[in-house]
């Protein structure tokens, strides 16, 4: 295995992974514009990452790695979790999400 697709457009994630995996060419979704966005509609962050990695593998036929990030607060029973980016609503800003989170705490 000398190539790996990191299912992201985030250049910083690529730099971090490349530093850990010397000798492996890290490709991104920028290399594969036909992949498009994968709908992250699973119930957990792990399931969303797995869905994305599988879809990117299916479309590129290359080993693929993906992540899904979110904030899981123990005292809020894991909320906001997969809803972290839209915790305060579909078009909420980062500040809106922070305010809602602080109010919930």
Catalytic residues: 68
| Encoded tokens for 29 | 């979704």
State the Cα–Cα distance between residues 14 and 7, nearest whole angstrom. 10
The strand pairing partners of 26, in sequence order, are: 4
Q: Are 64 and 4 in contact (CB under 8 A)?
A: yes
């Amino acid at each position: 295995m000398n190539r790996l697709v990191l299912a992201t457009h985030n250049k910083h994630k690529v730099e971090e992974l490349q530093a850990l995996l010397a000798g492996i060419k890290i490709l991104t979704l920028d290399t594969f514009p036909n992949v498009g966005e994968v709908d992250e509609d699973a119930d957990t962050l792990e399931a969303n990452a797995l869905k994305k990695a599988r879809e990117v593998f299916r479309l590129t036929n290359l080993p693929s790695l993906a992540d899904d990030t979110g904030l899981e607060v123990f005292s809020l029973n894991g909320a906001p979790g997969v809803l972290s980016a839209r915790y305060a609503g579909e078009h909420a800003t980062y500040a809106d999400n922070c305010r809602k989170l602080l109010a919930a705490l």
